[in-house]
Structure 1
Amino acid sequence: MSDDLNIVTDQWLTIHSDDIRPEIDVDSLVEPASVEPLATIPTPIEQTKNFPHTDEVPDGCTVISDLDEDDFGYSVSFEEVTYATRTLADGTSMDLPMWVFTPGLDNAPESHMPEGGWPVIVFVRGSAFHEQNVPDYSNYYVRIAEKGYVVAAMKYRHSDVAPFPAQMLDCKTAVRFMRVNAERFHCNKDRVVLWGDSSGGHTVLMAGFTGDREPDTPLYGEESAEVKAIVDWYGPTDFVKMNFYASSQNHSAPECPEGVEIGGVDVLEYPDRSRVASPMSYLSADVPTPPTLIMHGGRDQLVPFNQSCRLYATMKALDKDVTFLKLDNACHACYGFRSARALNIVFDWLEQKL
């Protein structure tokens, strides 16, 4: 202890000595201590369950004997990185951040990293194509990473500064960035999945269906943008048809999310632009498509349920590997989608596809 600390401690004791309560004889209330200090018991993490059990139970202590398994899964760490810098139409530049959530093995006796590294989920948070609040889904990212996935939650150029196809191009770049940095994040570049909700669902469908084909971008071109699977949560798929099904908002006006995404024009007056921005336009029987899981709520007030029906029907007609689940009473991003059960459906599906 330093001299300065000694002085401070002595001063405190002088002022507060009357406040110190009489010492309780704790030793008489608990199991007697060893006569001599005990030698340490070397215990590697994988042998934690074999550490000696204590039978000590103080009077009044409740013993729970049937709780000996952890269900949170892996510990999770995260960092923010810049995965790309884009030049915008006005000549300014925009850094694109990504939040990478990585599973950890610290103090996890039964856990191990899969051979080849952790599988990767590039997650695209929805935003009606406007600027995203990516961290507001951090509870999802942590839950996913706990299950043994590296989660790369990316931010794309939003439609107010760069319309379609900027978002899908940024998504492809994020996939390639994770492959370039596979060793850094201890991930398996051969097990990459895309997962997105709402406009993020549209983005991952577009990026996943096109892979290394156009529209594309050259950044990190030494790596592929192809993925093993796609998870689409209530993404729009056919802009022209959205206004013909029940919704709480207009989907055709130039200022609506879909109108801004295709350049600030009326969706119904520019069907060709909408067709180019439709995931179904990039599907064909002779081009492989990643297995796709679609989940959509039966009470979705923003993206009509029919949007996923159209995608599913198209994929089925082309004999694609597609699974469609209707959460009957779920709305847009709630009343079902914020549940462990919904996440477990995805995890079980991914386990089959990876």
Structure 2
Amino acid sequence: MKQMQSIVLFIFLCAASPLYSQIVTIDGIPKDTAYTPYSAWVKIKKDYPNVTRVYPDLPDGVKAENNIVYVTLPDTPYGKRDLHMDVFRPGKCEEYPALVMVFGGGWRTGSKEAQVPMAQKIAAQGYVTAAIEYRLSPEALYPAAVYDIKAAIRFLRANADKYGIDPNRIAITGSSAGGQLAALVGFTGNMEEFEGDLGNNEVSSNVQAIIDMDGILDFTTPSESLGDNTPGKHSAGYYWFGATLKEARDKWVEASPMIYAGKDSPPILFINSTQPRFHAGRDSVISVLNTFDIYSEVHTIPNSVHSFWQVHPWFEETVDYMVSFLDRVFKNEEK
């Protein structure tokens, strides 16, 4: 009953406070409820009144398993802590490529539920999709989120037979902050300093493809630290790193995916809004990948805003780009 009351409180606060940061405690853990699919829709429709919300809709033939515990953190400041994922897969007993899906929200807010509609839709196209939870900055600073996501990949690879996954065909995607995390995780492969020790460490956290939706690749670009120059305000990076760029430049650089692009990087798809801030580092990464003849693809959605993936009609266009790219990489289907 206590857990149910907490969930109800969380849903109410997300709906009632769509535009402002508000820290609440859910099951003893601090959560920022500011960014939800609802709040994104409210903000976007001010300038685009014809956009409509995207809702979960499980397609026929797709199986769902919700709130799978992929790791238990035994000792945190908030006690024992489970991290969860929702897995969607085609109904046939076959082996499919997998897509790990990372939500966005400035490394501070958001939830895995935001990725569920997209996860359901892509699963119907012949993929096992996993919308994952990870720790946000009110709970744990960088690099905790990186450790969590890599643990989720290792969990899926270790349990590939159970979920019908081809362990040699795993991709990762994310939107906004989730896009930055997806790129960082994807480009760092099995680098020990990013692995953490959250279970299944004998299994690789490598991925074979990356999809980045408006996630930055360079934290040192001025737009990311601009908020720290305003008295009484801070950037999203400050809250995640626990320090400004000037105070801890090494951390901000270390978390910039662009510095890890190289000869072993997987193919990557960029799906972008028309807002230049969220393209930071993209062209530099593509230049490096081109040097090693590694495939990359860019789609900029015309007249779009950040969070375009959260509303119709951009949701459908985004899914089409994603599936086309995944088919090309994993099924040798050029479209």
TM-score, normalised with respect to structure 1: 0.68
Q: Which runs of 5+ in 2 are unaligned?
A: 1-58, 331-335
Distance between the aligned counterparts of 1:315 and 1:152, measured in 2?
27
Q: Counterpart of 1:81?
A: 68
**What amino acid is aligned across from residue 324 of structure 1 in structure 2?**
V
| Same amino acid, percent of matched pairs | 26
Q: Are residues 1:271 and 2:249 paired?
A: yes
Counterpart CA distance in 2 for 1:174 and 1:271 is: 28
**Which consecutive unaligned segments of at least 5 residues does structure 1 have?**
1-71, 106-112
Q: 1:241 is matched with which residue?
A: 221
Alignment partners' CA distance in 2, 1:201 and 1:98: 17
Cα deviation, residue 179, structure 1: 1.3
| Counterpart residue type for residue 259 of structure 2 | S
> Does 2:308 correspond to 1:321?
no
The answer to whether the aligner puts 1:96 opposite 2:70 as a matched pair is no
1:297 equivalenced with 2:273 (yes/no): yes
Higher helix share: 2
Q: Could you say which residue in structure 2 is the equivalent of 1:213?
A: 191
Aligned residue for 1:338?
314
Evaluate the alpha carbon distance shift between residue 244 and residue 127 of structure 1 in structure 2; reply closer, same or farther with a 3 A threshold: closer
Q: Which of 222, 228, 237 does residue 258 from structure 1 map onto? A: 237
1:160 is the counterpart of 2:134: no
- 1:337 CA drift (Å): 7.5
Q: Is the 8 A contact 1:119 1:191 kept in 2?
A: yes
| 1:230 counterpart residue number | 210
String of CA shifts for 1:154-186, please: whole Å, max 9, x gaps.
111112222222112111111110112112212
The answer on whether the counterparts of 2:103 and 2:175 sit within 8 Å (CA) in structure 1 is yes
SS in 1 for 2:122: helix
Structure 1 residues 156 and 244: alpha-carbon distance in aligned structure 2, compared to 1, 3 A threshold: closer
Shift of 1:188: 1.4
CA deviation after TM superposition for structure 1 residue 90, in Å: 2.8
Q: How does 1:1-20 map to 2 (within 5 A)?
A: none
- Alpha carbons 1:235, 1:307 under 8 Å: kept: no
Which of the pair has the greater relative contact order for Cα pairs under 8 Å at 6+ separation? Answer: 2
Distance in 1 between residues matched to 2:313 and 2:142, nearest whole Å: 27
Cα 1:306–1:282, aligned 2, differ >3 Å: closer, same or farther?
closer
Query: 1:332/1:252 Cα in 2 relative to 1: closer, same or farther (>3 Å)?
Result: farther
Output one character per residue of 1:199-231: Cα deviation in whole Å (capped at 9) or x when no partner: 111111111111111221232022111111111
CA distance in 1, matches of 2:69, 2:155: 10
Match of 2:147 among 160, 169, 178: 169
Quick one: which amino acid aligns to residue 231 of structure 1? I
Asked whether the 8 Å contact 1:295–1:326 carries over to 2, the reply is: yes
Name the CA shift for 1:135/1:273 in 2 (closer, same or farther; >3 Å). Answer: same
Distance 1:79 1:313 in 2: 40
What residue number does 2:326 align with? Answer: 350
Q: Write the letter of the residue equivalent to 1:176.
A: R
Q: Does residue 179 in structure 1 map to residue 166 in structure 2?
A: no
SS in 2 for 1:240: coil
Please tell me whether the aligned partners of residues 265 and 289 of structure 2 are also in contact (alpha carbons under 8 angstroms): no
**Structure 1 residues 131 and 86, CA gap change in structure 2 (3 angstroms):** farther
User: For residue 102 of structure 1, what is the amino acid of its counterpart?
Assistant: R
Distance 1:277 1:328, change over 3 A: same
Mapped pair 1:281 → 2:259: yes
1:39 corresponds to: none
- What is the CA–CA distance in structure 2 between the aligned matches of 1:258 and 1:244, rounded to whole Å? 7
Q: For residue 279 of structure 2, what is the amino acid of its counterpart?
A: F
Q: Matched residues in 1 for 2:240 and 2:217: separation?
A: 13
- Give runs of ≥4 in structure 1 deviating > 4 Å: 251-254
Asked if 1 retains the 8 angstrom alpha-carbon contact of 2:172 and 2:186, the reply is yes
How big is the alpha-carbon RMSD for the aligned residues of Structure 1 and Structure 2? Answer: 2.6
Which residue identity is paired with 2:223? N
SS of alignment partner, residue 239 of structure 1: coil
- The CA deviation at 1:123 is 0.5
CA change 1:252–1:191 in 2 (3 A) is farther
Could you tell me how far apart the structure 1 residues matched to 2:253 and 2:157 are? Answer: 31
What SS is found at the alignment partner of 2:300?
strand
Superposed displacement of residue 74, structure 1: 3.8
- Does structure 2 conserve the Cα–Cα contact (< 8 Å) formed by 1:123 and 1:196? yes
Q: C-alpha offsets along residues 320-339 of structure 1, whole Å, 9 cap, x if unaligned?
A: 43222222322112178833
Give the 3-state SS of the residue equivalent to 1:232 in structure 2. Answer: strand
| Residue 282 (structure 2) aligns with | 308
